[in-house]
Structure 1
Amino acid sequence: MRIRHPGVLRIIGWCGARLVRTLSATLHFDYTLLGPPETDPRLPGPQRYIYALWHEHFLIPIVRFSDAPLTVLVSRHRDGELLGYLFARTHMEVVRGSTRRGAVAATLGLLEAARKGRHLALTPDGPRGPRRTVQPGILYLASRTGWPIVPLGIGFQKVWRMPSWDCFVVPRPFTRVRCIVGAPLSIPPCLPREQFPLYAARLRQTLNHLCAQARLWAKHRLDPATHSPLEQRKHPRWISWNISQTPVTVS
């Protein structure tokens, strides 16, 4: 049975926000930057970015980056409504739409948010997949605004996966969660449509590589750059490497 009544969805969203915050408080969360300090979405600065992460990893960033000046794109589907109510409990703004429903309105809303100086956050494979496939919308926005895309790779020690198209991730309580904020990827202005697949493949490879490294970091407490143990350090050192030249197979 599908729930469509706004009042019921609002109650579910309120309860969901409380549950997500309670769960998040139990997690051992840490993150590192591969790019310059200003790519941290919570730090002020003149440069604005488009943050990209896979749809399956959307849950925890809602809480962990809730104070950042972000405008987030969520779909007009039922799951998008629930996510919208979760975002309503944060300082983030929400634009509704997708490549299939409300694409024009969503693009205009995101461009308006960009003119206000807010960061943008998108799931390149949302709202209905295919899983971990980059759709052209994020490339169009990056080309139109001139803002670099900052990929986020997220890894978990232990999770539950939902029976959805994206295998949506819910971390188990008290597990380790690691986030790697990748180096910015610049998209040429007025990018020709025939070049979209090239940049889509590059972004997909980067996101998958970051997720694989974050997963190693979370499961084995390994430095994501050297794979050496992180025994006595609460926060890993800053790292960088050429992620575009390292192919990764992701299950």
Structure 2
Amino acid sequence: MKIQSRTVLGVINYLVVFIIRMIFKTTRLEFVGDSIERCPFADTGDERFLYSVWHDSVIPPLFCAVKHNSVALISQHRDADTIEAMLKAAGMGAIRGSTTRGGASAIKKLITLAEGKHIVITPDGPRGPHHKMKSGIVFLASHSGRAVIPNAFSASSYWKFQGSWTSIWIPKPFSKVYYLVGEPIYIPKDISREEMNSYTDLVQEKMEELEQELKQIVCSEPDPETVPFRKAA
């Protein structure tokens, strides 16, 4: 049964956020290699990025830091109302919009709303297929001048909640959460459809490489290059 009352929905969202936040207080977050230098919580100077995060890994980015220097791009569809409410409860901004609709004026408005902030995008959302990159993030990168940064998350132990087309995982208390950040991928301006498809495949490839690397780390002893998370101010 779908909850219609915004008040009830708001209370539920804040309760869920509170529980997840308490879980994350018990976890240990580790950045693999030099990932901490390119993550959304790092000092990236004046440059702002488009962070690519698979839909099933959206929970860690919300609760890894005390303060956020990023906003999430979510669908304009009514189904995204709950997601927006949860983002608000978690202290992260949200922008309702599309990476492919509305042309240059819509892109300009989107970048204006996110001025000074990184943009987190789930490139396989909002309806899948699971871990299948769509071209929207490449389109936005080409028109905004922002580089795409692939991201991957994993945990030593977690719960998985299956949805209609993908799952959402939440780390279990006292588990270790791994965060691996890829190198920026710069997309040229005014690229052709063929070039857009090629860059989309490239981002897909980099995302898959990060996932595989983290799987190996989780299944083995802690990597000696892994560094402990430093709490955001």
Q: What TM-score comes out, normalization by structure 1 length?
A: 0.79
Conserved 8 A contact 2:150-2:207: yes
CA deviations on 1:18-39 (whole Å, 9 max, x unpaired) are 01101111212111355793x2
Matched, 1:40 2:39: yes
> Who is 1:128 aligned against?
127
Match of 1:235 among 217, 227, 230: 227
TM-fit CA distance, 1:170: 1.9
TM-fit CA distance, 1:90: 4.2
TM-fit CA distance, 1:78: 6.3
Aligned-CA RMSD value? 2.5
- Worse overlay, 1-10 or 145-154: 1-10
What secondary structure is seen at the aligned counterpart in 2 of 1:168? strand
Conserved 8 A contact 1:95-1:109: no
Distance in 2, matches of 1:33 and 1:148, equals 20
What secondary structure is seen at the aligned counterpart in 2 of 1:143? helix
Percent identical pairs in the alignment equals 27
TM-fit CA distance, 1:79: 5.8
Distance 1:127 1:106, change over 3 A: farther
Distance in 1, matches of 2:174 and 2:144, equals 39
Distance in 2, matches of 1:106 and 1:8, equals 33
Q: How does 1:97-246 map to 2 (within 5 A)?
A: 97-98=97-98, 103-104=101-102, 107=107, 109-114=109-114, 116-164=115-163, 165-223=165-223, 230=224, 235=227
Distance in 1, matches of 2:10 and 2:64, equals 22
Distance in 2, matches of 1:12 and 1:77, equals 20
Q: What TM-score comes out, normalization by structure 2 length?
A: 0.85
CA deviations on 1:94-149 (whole Å, 9 max, x unpaired) are 0124579xx449745522234x2221110110111011111121111100111111
Distance 1:211 1:141, change over 3 A: same
Conserved 8 A contact 1:17-1:89: yes
Distance 1:24 1:35, change over 3 A: closer
Distance 1:117 1:59, change over 3 A: same
User: Number of residues paired by the alignment?
Assistant: 224
- Stretches of 4+ moved more than 6 A in 1? none
What secondary structure is seen at the aligned counterpart in 2 of 1:15? helix
Distance in 1, matches of 2:179 and 2:12, equals 27
Distance in 2, matches of 1:109 and 1:220, equals 45
Conserved 8 A contact 1:176-1:218: no
Conserved 8 A contact 2:123-2:134: yes
Distance in 2, matches of 1:57 and 1:34, equals 20
Distance in 1, matches of 2:106 and 2:217, equals 35
Distance in 2, matches of 1:89 and 1:14, equals 6
Matched, 1:13 2:5: no
Q: Relative contact order (C-alpha < 8 Å, sep 6+): which is higher?
A: 2
In structure 1, what residue type is equivalent to 2:186?
Answer: S
TM-fit CA distance, 1:181: 0.9
TM-fit CA distance, 1:49: 0.8
CA deviations on 1:158-201 (whole Å, 9 max, x unpaired) are 22222211122122222211000111011111121222221111
What secondary structure is seen at the aligned counterpart in 1 of 2:178? strand
Conserved 8 A contact 1:53-1:122: yes
Where structure 2 has 5 or more consecutive residues not aligned to the other structure, the ranges are 229-233
Distance in 1, matches of 2:198 and 2:84, equals 32
> Who is 1:56 aligned against?
56
> Who is 2:24 aligned against?
24
Conserved 8 A contact 2:160-2:167: yes
TM-fit CA distance, 1:221: 3.0
What secondary structure is seen at the aligned counterpart in 1 of 2:68? coil
